[in-house]
Chains A and B, each alone.
Chain A
Amino acid sequence: MNFTDLCDEKQFDIFYKQEVNHVFRFILLKNKNKDEAFDIVQEAFIKIWENCNKFDLLKAKSYLFSVAKNLFLNAKKHEKVVRNFENNTTNLYIETETPESALREKEFKHKLEKAIGNLTDSSREVFLLNRIEGKKYKEIAELLGISLKAVEKRMSKALLALRTQIEEFN
């Protein structure tokens, strides 16, 4: 078997593990509440699972992101799903905090993180999708439902803001 059949539970599990963090971070760019973001991600995967035979892998990936986005937009209308793992001792979220006494090499990273935090939501979203998720501008435009020009504008804005801010920190 050289293609992924999403109706096959084992192959779906692999797909899930590969994609879950990408979608989670994408939603987290919009919704800072981790639990809510996680609910949205799970709902999006359930939609894929329920329609497993309608997608090949490539379509499923982009569908996953757009479902997650729509779910986020409708989130307020939805009832909050009850979580099953509230008493679970294993940690769902993995946070890698950089200690204050960061090594010198980490200083730049620290400044960058701070600067990214100061970006406007719309330019941060575009910047991180390109840098962390490795998405092309065209994909980002499709994902967010905006024009390619708008993506490029937000990206330029983000870059300029990051550079000037980091210079100011110095």
Chain B
Amino acid sequence: MEDFKNILKWLNNEMTNEELAAFRKTDDYKLYKNIAEEAKNINLTSINETVALQDFKARISNRTKKKSKVISIGRNFAFKIAASIALLVGLTYFLFNFNQETLKADFAENKSFLLPDESSVTLNAVSQITFSKSSFKKNRQLKLDGEAYFSVKKGSAFNVETEQGNVAVLGTKFNVKSRENSFKVFCYEGSVAVSHHNTKIILTKGEGVQLTKNNQLVKLLNPKSSAPLWLNNESEFTEEPYTEVLAEFERQFKMKIISESVNTKVLFTGGFNNKDMNSAIKSITLPLNINYRIKDNEIILSK
């Protein structure tokens, strides 16, 4: 009579080497060795994986039928006029900006520059500053589109102009973020003056301001922070619109996020790492119970 306890142990790979050596000498082993080994090779119906995968894809696309329309631009007269105007405007802009210096950081990069007055600036991804090459030393004025951290050499007034407001300083360290859906200034050293429409706020070390949805400047306090987190490859958000979080993600990873099917108006507090896309996408989707799907350079969000 067989000792099934032992046989079962053997087939579940639970035996130690010594137990196995001893078991190999038993009659039970001789009786069941062939059955156990040959069973692995018996012929079972298999599926052609490639054909099955094609079928799988077809089933998925049948479920999520997407309708997209292509709008063609007619080659009519109005189009030609528009093109000519665009060319003219472009040419004027080029001539006007001949004296302008533009420094920029592209997708997924941070870049540091030394300005003519020896102040330094670090640009976050997809950001740029422009200033006049000839007069910057005398008149420290620049335009910012995006986000930048400044460390300003003491001296005459240093002005940062953005779409949403201006920041004036004497000598200090501060961060300015001016994006489509976000305007934020934080002072890390010295003091800065932020003006937005008719409001003017003076910030000292450890203070910041953020523009809310209702177009009001709200103070932020963080006395311990000594430099913006993005310099260490972290993006952080406090009650900021989700659209801005997604936009920052796109800038940091050079990905396109398709977010039509989720509510992007909600406010988000949290952050993500700018170097690890897999954990970053989880950090911004899981808390909101959003599903995501990566396809090449696109990420599709869904509820």
- A residues 7-43 near B (Cβ < 8 Å) are 7-9, 13, 16-17, 20-21, 24-25, 28, 34, 38, 41-42
Contact with A along B10-46 (1 / 0, CB 8 A): 0111000000000000000001101110111111111
> Is A90 on the interface with B (CB-CB < 8 A)?
yes
Q: Which residues of B contact A74 (CB under 8 A)?
A: none
Beyond A7-B293, A130-B12, A162-B35, whether A98 also contacts B51 by CB under 8 A is: no
Assess the A85–B59 pair: CB atoms within 8 A.
no
Assess the B35–A166 pair: CB atoms within 8 A.
yes
> Is A71 on the interface with B (CB-CB < 8 A)?
no
Q: Which residues of A contact B282 (CB under 8 A)?
A: 53
> Is A131 on the interface with B (CB-CB < 8 A)?
yes
| Distance between A38 CB and nearest chain B CB, rounded to angstroms | 7
Assess the A156–B35 pair: CB atoms within 8 A.
no
Residue in B closest to A127 when the chains form the complex, CB atoms:
B39
Assess the B53–A17 pair: CB atoms within 8 A.
yes
Residue in B closest to A160 when the chains form the complex, CB atoms:
B2
Assess the A7–B294 pair: CB atoms within 8 A.
yes
Assess the A9–B11 pair: CB atoms within 8 A.
no
Beyond A93-B46, A98-B43, whether A159 also contacts B35 by CB under 8 A is: yes
| Distance between A161 CB and nearest chain B CB, rounded to angstroms | 10
Assess the A85–B58 pair: CB atoms within 8 A.
yes
Residue in A closest to B302 when the chains form the complex, CB atoms:
A50
Q: Which residues of B contact A85 (CB under 8 A)?
A: 51, 54-55, 58
What is the interface of chain B mostly: helix, strand, loop, or mixed? Answer: helix
> Is A121 on the interface with B (CB-CB < 8 A)?
no
Q: Which residues of B contact A52 (CB under 8 A)?
A: 291, 293
Assess the B48–A92 pair: CB atoms within 8 A.
yes
Given A7, A9, A93, A112, which contacts B42 in the complex, CB threshold below 8 Å?
A112
Given B48, B54, B58, which contacts A91 in the complex, CB threshold below 8 Å?
B48
Interface size class of A (residues with CB under 8 A): 35 or more
| Max count, chain A CB within 10 A of own CB: residue among B7, B48, B58, B62 | B48
Interface size class of B (residues with CB under 8 A): 35 or more
Q: Could you list 16 further interchain pairs (A-B, Cβ under 8 angstroms) beyond the known A95-B43, A113-B43, A159-B4? A: A5-B294, A9-B294, A17-B49, A20-B53, A25-B44, A28-B44, A42-B52, A91-B51, A93-B47, A108-B38, A116-B42, A127-B39, A132-B44, A136-B13, A156-B4, A160-B2
What 9 A-B pairs are tightest by C-beta distance, nearest first?
A: A131-B39, A8-B294, A17-B49, A84-B58, A156-B4, A94-B46, A96-B43, A7-B293, A9-B295
Chain A residues in the interface with B (C-beta under 8 A): 1, 3, 5, 7-9, 13, 16-17, 20-21, 24-25, 28, 34, 38, 41-42, 45-46, 49-53, 81, 83-85, 88, 90-98, 108-109, 112-113, 116, 127-128, 130-132, 136-137, 152, 155-156, 159-160, 162-163, 166
Chain B residues in the interface with A (C-beta under 8 A): 2, 4, 7-8, 11-13, 31-32, 34-36, 38-56, 58-60, 62-63, 278, 282, 285-286, 291-296
Cross-chain pairs A/B with CB under 8 angstroms, 18 sampled = A5-B278, A7-B292, A20-B52, A24-B47, A25-B46, A34-B45, A49-B60, A53-B282, A96-B43, A108-B34, A109-B41, A109-B42, A112-B38, A132-B40, A137-B12, A155-B11, A163-B35, A166-B35
